[in-house]
Amino acid sequence: NAGVTQTPKFQVLKTGQSMTLQCAQDMNHNSMYWYRQDPGMGLRLIYYSASEGTTDKGEVPNGYNVSRLNKREFSLRLESAAPSQTSVYFCASSEGPASDTQYFGPGTRLTVL
């Protein structure tokens, strides 16, 4: 039981490049989330998917897109990376309304030069 997995663990991009962060969970959870965490700050919600087939914007969605590929997988895409997107990105999942406990992946450290 791997829980929540994320790839890659580290990534360096140049301004304007694109990339996709992958996330998968094996807990049969309905809801999945993407957060970013900047130094000295808490987590800010980028996008979330309350259930398979739905996605919604969080607090800081600009510059990002998401895809809920199936119940297990939720990807985050940066179409044209900017230095302001340098951050640590966490994916999380939860059962949904039945339980708000979120389980987090190990994170992706992204640097945009």
Partner 1 sequence: EDKVVQSPLSLVVHEGDTVTLNCSYEVTNFRSLLWYKQEKKAPTFLFMLTSSGIEKKSGRLSSILDKKELFSILNITATQTGDSAVYLCAVGHNFNKFYFGSGTKLNVKP
Residue 112 is a binding residue for partner 1 (CB under 8 A): no
Rule CB under 8 A: is residue 44 a binding residue for partner 1? yes
DSSP category for residue 85 = G
Going from the C-alpha of 14 to that of each of 39, 57, 79, 87, 88, the distances in angstroms are 21, 25, 12, 14, 16
Report 62-101 residues binding partner 1 (CB under 8 A).
90, 96-97, 99-101
- Min separation Cβ 16 and partner 1, Å: 29
Give the C-alpha separation, 46 to 51, whole Å: 16
17 or 67, CB closer to partner 1? 67
Binding site residues, partner 1, CB under 8 A? 31, 33, 35, 40-45, 48, 50, 56, 58-59, 90, 96-97, 99-107
